[in-house]
Amino acid sequence: MTARFKQKAVVLSIVLLALLLPFIIQNDYFFHIMTLSFIWMIGVYGLNLIAGYTGYLSLAHAGFFAIGAYSLGILTVKFEIHYWLAFFLACAITCIIGLVIGLVALQTKEHFFAIYTLCVGYIIYLVIDKWESLTGGVRGLIGIPVPPDLGPISFRSPVSQYYFNLFFLLAAIFMMYRIVHSLTGRTLIAIRNSEELAQTIGISTMKNKLVSFVLSTFFAALSGILYASFIRFIGPDISYITMTFDFLIFLLVGGIGTLSGPIVGTLLIVWISQQLQFLQDYRMLIFGPLLTLLIIFYPKGIVGGIFSWKMKMQEKKKRLSMSAKSATQRAEEG
Amino acid sequence: MEIFAQQIFNGLTVGSVYSLVALGLTLVYGILHIPNFAHGALYMMGGYITLTMMTKFGLYYWIAIMISMVIVGLMGVLMERFIFYPLRDAPPIQDKIAAIGILLFLEAFAQFVWGADYQTMPTPYGQVVSVMGLTFTMQRLLIIISTVVVMILLFLFLKKTFIGSAIIAMSQNREGAHLVGINTNKMAMLTFMISGALAAIAASLSSPINLVFPGMGHLVILKAFVIIIIGGMGSIPGAIIGGYILGFAESLGATYISNDYKDIFAFILLVLILTFKPTGLFAKGGHS
């Protein structure tokens, strides 16, 4: 009970800190980076659901991110549809494409799934890059609108953008929390641990995997849509495989299959990248080996590492108190 | 008709390169059951090392290729020792991610050392030959011939030598091979060595017609994956046949359908195949 209370207090204080941050720090550049991190985090949560909780490494994640971003961009710029309608439509389009691809992709397993989604991601990239009349090709789409004013609130200043994206991030985290702690979440973890076993106890694995996959594309779409209306320019490179690898690094550093992993990993890597700006294209010289070492020594990332360290400590304490107890018992008996 | 024959020839060239890359990939998959996502980076390194040996040290083309094969082969061995060996009992998602880490590192490394520019590799075989109305450069002819030679050598090695049979035995049943006294660790290292060398020779052969740049491995590795799925993961003849099928499909598709989308054919082919046969065509039985 106390542990649960403590956890709640920690979560609440972090949310409060995020809400109050604009009053403590007043720096537009800082808000730009933070807002971008929030947007990435939503996408990373999507990848976490399919790769971390369900055990299917989807390498088409950047593709869905881009489909979301481009759907919003094309609908608002070319067809001049109202922003919120386009927002909703973009989510729906991505989910439908995700559903169709998922129906086929999830027939495959393990390596085949990874390779299949890798190829799907590449097809999405090629289509965006070559279909110039629709997507603008390599030149990209310019002038994507920011969200329209909601009554007195305008979303033009960096601080309001910060709150706008923070709102969606919190909603996404809450949704993830509910999913993971629901029966569906448990089912997904069962599938990850052993698909055959899950099947033998009567779980419809295909249905659940599909739910997980479509939800993950939904998160990717949401992240892409927010990205498009935050940066206001999108090019085909956002669908490229390197983008998926970025998501993967954020997820793995933080902790794959954990709820707080995406937050920790994204914040950490984004800020380290900012510090290492002089490296620019060479940052992978550090992050590449980091990814490999992490997966060998800490496959559950920072959050997972902390968890297992805590568990060890608890066990040690238990053992100590046990031995102390038995010592006193022996002393009493003796 | 002439265009058709020319495209068949082009398909043969492209297919040869794909087959070599796919062979390396399928050998590793046969032994360790991991899709080596870093194989494309090895291919890229092979191209760069040959280029450096030729331009910086002024070595002859073939000697440069030999050195490149050895170096990239050793890189493969290091990868096996330090990454895939420690992860041999880990969940399958982990070795894929570890390989991706290596891929990212090698690409950044190449960009750091050689820059992001596209570079051309000089070749002593630049002359143009024309036979029966077909014109082609010697380099293209060379690719086809060298590939066939390499394939024959590999075949003889695997079928006629003791070590080769040990590798085949290991790909059939790892524990069984271990039980009859095959040193599985050594064989795994050797397989990675061969796989790296194949990637290096493929890159060195194709670079004079394609250009050398840090991202040159991306498309090739993706297509190699397509090939080994078409040909059956771990199957050696499958990789060769699949490579040529893809080569022909691409060069004919580029001429008769659309040049812009020629890279997409391979992936559509794969998506179609996996849609109807989720474990790939010609999947080997007995593996899980």
Instruction: Give dist(CA B39, CA B25) in Å, integer.
Output: 7
Q: Which helix (H) or strand (E) segment is A290 a member of?
A: helix A284-297
Query: How much of chain B exceeds pLDDT 70, in percent?
Result: 95
Inform me whether the pLDDT recorded for B263 exceeds 70.
Answer: yes
- Model-level pTM? 0.84
Instruction: Give dist(CA B153, CA B157) in Å, integer.
Output: 6
What is the DSSP annotation of A186-236?
Answer: HHHHHHHH-HHHHHHTT--HHHHHHHHHHHHHHHHHHHHHHHHHHH-EE-G
Q: Which domain holds residue B48?
A: 19-215
Chain A CB contacts of B107 below 8 Å = 284, 288
Across the interface, whether the CB atoms of A109 and B280 are under 8 A apart is answered no
Q: How far is CA B58 from CA A71, B64, B122, B123, B200, in A?
A: 52, 9, 11, 12, 18
Q: Are A154 and A212 in contact (CB under 8 A)?
A: no
Chain A CB contacts of B222 below 8 Å = 118-119, 122
For tokens 């297509």, what's the residue?
B223
Pick A20 or B288 by higher pLDDT. A20
Chain B CB contacts of A283 below 8 Å = 108
pLDDT at residue B286 in the model:
40
- In chain A, domain spans: 28-299
Torsion of CA B161, B167, B172, B177, to 10 degrees: 100
**DSSP annotation of B280:** -
Chain B CB contacts of A245 below 8 Å = 100, 104
Residue B88, Cα to own-chain centre: how many angstroms?
23
Question: Tell me: the pLDDT tens digits for B201-246?
Answer: 999 888 888 888 888 888 888 888 888 888 877 788 888 888 888 8
Q: Is B41 a domain residue? A: yes
Give the distance from residue A50's alpha carbon to the nearest chain B alpha carbon, in angstroms: 12
Q: Are A240 and A117 in contact (CB under 8 A)?
A: no
Across the interface, whether the CB atoms of B108 and A288 are under 8 A apart is answered yes
Burial state string for B115-154 with b = 16 or more CB within 10 A and e = fewer than 16: eeeeeebebeeeeeeeeeeeebbebbbbbbebbeebbeeb
Question: Tell me: the pLDDT tens digits for B61-113?
Answer: 888 888 999 999 999 999 888 888 888 777 777 888 888 888 888 888 888 88
If phi > 0 it is left, if psi is from -120 to 50 it is alpha, else beta; for residue A323 that is alpha
Pick the residue from chain B with its C-alpha nearest to A280.
B108
Q: Is B261 a domain residue? A: no
Which of B199, B204, B241, B205 lies closest to B221 in space, CA to CA?
A: B199
ipTM of the complex: 0.81
The secondary structure of B196-260, three-state, reads: HHHHHHHHHHHHHHHCECCCCHHHHHHHHHHHHHHCCCCCHHHHHHHHHHHHHHHHHHHHHCCCC
Instruction: Tell whether B271 lies on the interface with A, counting CB pairs under 8 A.
Output: yes
CA atoms within 13 A on the CB side of A233: 5
CATH topology of domain A28-299: ABC transporter involved in vitamin B12 uptake, BtuC (1.10.3470)
pLDDT at residue A334 in the model:
59
pLDDT at residue B85 in the model:
85
Q: Which helix (H) or strand (E) segment is A314 a member of?
A: helix A301-333
Pick the residue from chain A with its C-alpha nearest to B266.
A119
Residue A270, classified by CB atoms within 10 Å of its CB into exposed (0-12), middle (13-18) or buried (19+), is middle
Q: Which helix (H) or strand (E) segment is A35 a member of?
A: helix A28-47
Instruction: Give dist(CA A311, CA B21) in Å, integer.
Output: 46
Taking only Cα atoms into account, the Rg of chain A, rounded to an integer number of angstroms, comes to 22
Residue from the list B94, B106, B267 with its beta carbon closest to the beta carbon of A295: B94
Q: Is B1 a domain residue? A: no
Across the interface, whether the CB atoms of A57 and B96 are under 8 A apart is answered yes
Which of A122, A60, A143, A134 lies closest to A97 in space, CA to CA?
A: A60
Pick B286 or A74 by higher pLDDT. A74
**β partners of residue B128:** B137
Three-state DSSP state, B185: helix
Domain total of chain B: 1
pLDDT per residue of chain A (334 residues) written in tens, 0 to 9:
456 667 778 888 888 887 877 777 777 788 888 888 999 999 999 999 998 888 888 888 999 999 999 998 888 888 888 888 888 999 999 999 999 999 888 887 777 888 888 888 888 888 888 887 888 777 888 878 887 777 677 777 777 888 888 888 999 999 988 988 888 888 888 888 888 888 888 888 888 889 999 999 999 999 999 998 888 888 888 888 888 888 888 888 888 888 888 888 888 888 888 877 776 667 778 888 888 888 888 888 888 888 888 888 888 888 888 777 777 777 777 5
Instruction: Give dist(CA B287, CA B273) in Å, integer.
Output: 20
Instruction: Give dist(CA B103, CA B39) in Å, integer.
Output: 8
Instruction: Give dist(CA A114, CA B98) in Å, integer.
Output: 14
Instruction: Give dist(CA A57, CA A67) in Å, integer.
Output: 19
Instruction: Give dist(CA A174, CA A169) in Å, integer.
Output: 8
**β partners of residue B135:** B130
Residue from the list B35, B86, B103 with its beta carbon closest to the beta carbon of A111: B35
Instruction: List, in sequence order, the alpha helices (H) in chain B.
Output: 2-32, 39-55, 61-79, 92-114, 138-160, 162-172, 174-179, 184-210, 217-230, 236-256, 262-276
Q: Is B248 a domain residue? A: no
Q: Hey, how many other C-beta atoms are within 10 angstroms of the C-beta on A204? A: 11
Q: Which of B109, B274, B282 would you mutate first to test chain A, the one with the most A CBs within 10 A?
A: B274
Q: In the numeric block, which tokens belong to residue A58? A: 């989807």
Residue from the list B35, B100, B105 with its beta carbon closest to the beta carbon of A285: B105
Q: Are B51 and B119 in contact (CB under 8 A)?
A: yes
Instruction: Give dist(CA A208, CA A213) in Å, integer.
Output: 9
